[in-house]
Structure 1
Amino acid sequence: MTGQLLEKVDLGLQLLFIAATTMVLLAKFNTGLSGFLKYGKTLSSGVQVRQQSHDGRFVEEAPFGFIVRMTLDLKVPKFWFFHFYLLSLVLSTVGFIITHTRLRTKDTTHPFTLPDIQNVGTIPLEISRLAFFLIIGHSSRRFFETLLIFKYNRTSKMNITHYLVGIFFYTAINLQLFLNTDFKVTQKAKPDIVLFLSLLLFLVASTDQFLNHAHLSGIKKYRIPRYGLFQRIVCAHYLDEIFIYLAVFGVLRTRTSFLALVFVIVNLSISAIETRNYYKLREEGKVPKWSIIPFFI
């Protein structure tokens, strides 16, 4: 594999993150495409491409309406979320083994030393191994949460596009780390305050997200949670996820990891807004003022 090819693949991932972010924004601000934003409790049965506007009239049908209708009708079980974390766990484990082995041996005949790869990465090998370890921790926790903590309703669905985007994201977040790693060990890791704060943020956000997920699993279906930061924002667990990927970016500091973070922020912010709108329509109790980021969204 040539360095030029690796650079092109990484550039392709960057473009795909930009495209995915753009599509989420388009779905939010184009009423005809808003059905793509809904899953689980916000996914109504028989979602229509033509939706009623606030003044009672129908908005124009979405571009390529027939294709949109067909796609919206393709749904998969929501509990398939565990596929994302299993995939990420496998990929990050492989990445950790490769980086750890490369650090431990100088034997160029070892298959994990990747002697044919021209060096294009800028992430020190020690940092890359650390990042893979963090992703292993996050993926394994989320995998076991989906199996042991969350009680998914077997009738709860998500659109096929949500599933495909999830598969893309967790593949890309691991692949971009591999592509940007300095396997030739041309530079040593230089720990700094940003790295330390990123690791601390990752630990705190991961712990808080686990506690939030445990709380969510124990409350009545579709009721507003009231634990911790849920008293101020609707989706505290989404904010934790943003912090987790902010921490990953703080460790890696690459363009691709930044674009992945932007996608996470946009995607989860819009999902949180949709969730708050759902609660406002159906919940008798007081709905928190903010969707995901206090004093901002």
Structure 2
Amino acid sequence: MALPAPLLEIIAGVITDTAPSQWCQAFFAIATITALSVQLIPKASQSLLLDYGPRATQAKYGAPGDRTDWLYTSVRLVTAVQVPHSWFNHFYVASVAASAFWAHQYFAGRSLLLAIITKQAAVEGPSMGKEQVWLVWILMALQGGRRLFECFYVMKPSRSKMWLGHWALGLIYYLDMSVAIWIEGSRSLLHSEADLAVSSRFSTSQLVGIAIFTTGWLQQHKCHQYLASLKKYTLPEQGLFRHIVCAHYTCECLIYGGLAMAAAPAGRWFNRTLICGLWFVVVNLGSTAHGTKKWYSEKFGEARVAPKWKMIPFVF
């Protein structure tokens, strides 16, 4: 059945009038709202969607009463397709590959990148400087490269499983982020900075962002090295883990918060597209951190875990 002509015109108008940065922001917003919505459903069904590894065992079988609940049964059916947790590696392969792909598009003058930045530049407000674009591009490539290195040479192999939906969402996130880091610098990529009167000097907010990113980047590597050194299912209690249950998630928030500041267009403190990505990171990892603290409390005793923050000191 064909869609009515007026509806097709509306859809075509939305597609035509929506800037590429808005498409990136829309994905981050939808993903964030979806992650928040999961917090509203019953715990048994919620666990099926969020838990993996040892925390997923109880969720997999559920309580006897849960097994007759229609929502639990439906969610269990949806989450039945599991993939190896080692497929997390694909996120960072995609991140590094996408960074290289868009760099090649730029230097080779390919039509796909040109079409995107031309459309964005037509509606863009303040633009990132060209040096600024390349800086955050390199920072994102360093993050993806370091995480890929850690997957193969630092982290211990795991037999855990995760839901296919987690894998797909993560893959789309990193592909979207590979565009988000440069999309608000489209005018600088399309024209020379002399034509745009865009300063090549970094502002205070951008320098602060670089410092925050670097701190998070270095500390996260230390966290992952420490976690890899622990025996299986041991409570992390050294370094940042003395005060934060999921300190490596804290570092992830610092990394993307730093990128959002380092990529801020002239006259702004933050890059709007990357802030949308940061909100998803906070909500998504915050949900996992909440479940991790609960599981730690049950396994190691509440007295050892209760004083710690889940992810964000003094807030959460």
TM-score, reference length from structure 1: 0.84
RMSD (Å) for aligned C-alpha atoms: 2.6
Instruction: Please give the secondary structure, in 2, of the residue aligned with 1:33.
Output: helix
Aligned residue in 1 for 2:174: 170
* 1:37 aligns to 2:54 (yes or no): no
Which residue identity lines up with residue 282 of structure 2 in the other structure? Answer: I
* 1:127 aligns to 2:150 (yes or no): no
Deviations 1:225-280 (A, max 9, x none): 11211001110000000000001110223322111010111111111111011111
**Contact 2:47–2:56 under 8 Å retained in 1:** no
Match of 1:195 among 206, 219, 242: 206
Which residue identity lines up with residue 312 of structure 2 in the other structure? Answer: I
Instruction: Please give the secondary structure, in 2, of the residue aligned with 1:158.
Output: strand
**Contact 1:212–1:227 under 8 Å retained in 2:** no
Rounded Cα–Cα distance in structure 2 between residues aligned with 1:164 and 1:239: 23
Q: Percent identity?
A: 26
Q: CA shift at 1:97, angstroms?
A: 4.5
Structure 2 matches for 1:281-292, cutoff 5 A? 281-284=298-301, 286-287=304-305, 288-292=307-311
Deviations 1:16-66 (A, max 9, x none): 211211111121231233321112232216625x658xxxx7599465x55
* 1:15 aligns to 2:32 (yes or no): no
Is the alpha carbon distance of 1:113 and 1:238 closer, same or farther for their aligned partners in structure 2, counting shifts above 3 Å?
closer
Which residue identity lines up with residue 272 of structure 2 in the other structure? Answer: R
Aligned residue in 2 for 1:255: 272
Is the alpha carbon distance of 1:59 and 1:249 closer, same or farther for their aligned partners in structure 2, counting shifts above 3 Å?
farther
Q: CA shift at 1:112, angstroms?
A: 7.6
Is the alpha carbon distance of 1:51 and 1:242 closer, same or farther for their aligned partners in structure 2, counting shifts above 3 Å?
farther
Q: CA shift at 1:129, angstroms?
A: 1.1
Higher helix residue share: 2
Q: CA shift at 1:80, angstroms?
A: 0.8
Rounded Cα–Cα distance in structure 2 between residues aligned with 1:290 and 1:60: 36
Q: CA shift at 1:178, angstroms?
A: 4.1
Which residue identity lines up with residue 154 of structure 2 in the other structure? Answer: I
Is the alpha carbon distance of 1:192 and 1:59 closer, same or farther for their aligned partners in structure 2, counting shifts above 3 Å?
farther
Q: CA shift at 1:84, angstroms?
A: 0.3
Rounded Cα–Cα distance in structure 2 between residues aligned with 1:149 and 1:59: 39
Structure 1: give runs of 5+ residues left out of the alignment: 103-109
Structure 2: give runs of 5+ residues left out of the alignment: 1-14, 264-269
Structure 2 matches for 1:1-297, cutoff 5 A? 5=16, 7-31=18-42, 32-44=45-57, 47-48=60-61, 61=69, 63=71, 66-98=73-105, 101=107, 110-111=109-110, 117-118=118-119, 119-120=121-122, 121=124, 122-153=127-158, 155-180=159-184, 181-182=186-187, 183-185=189-191, 186-188=196-198, 189-252=200-263, 253-284=270-301, 286-287=304-305, 288-297=307-316
TM-score, reference length from structure 2: 0.80
The aligned length equals: 279
Which residue identity lines up with residue 170 of structure 1 in the other structure? Answer: Y
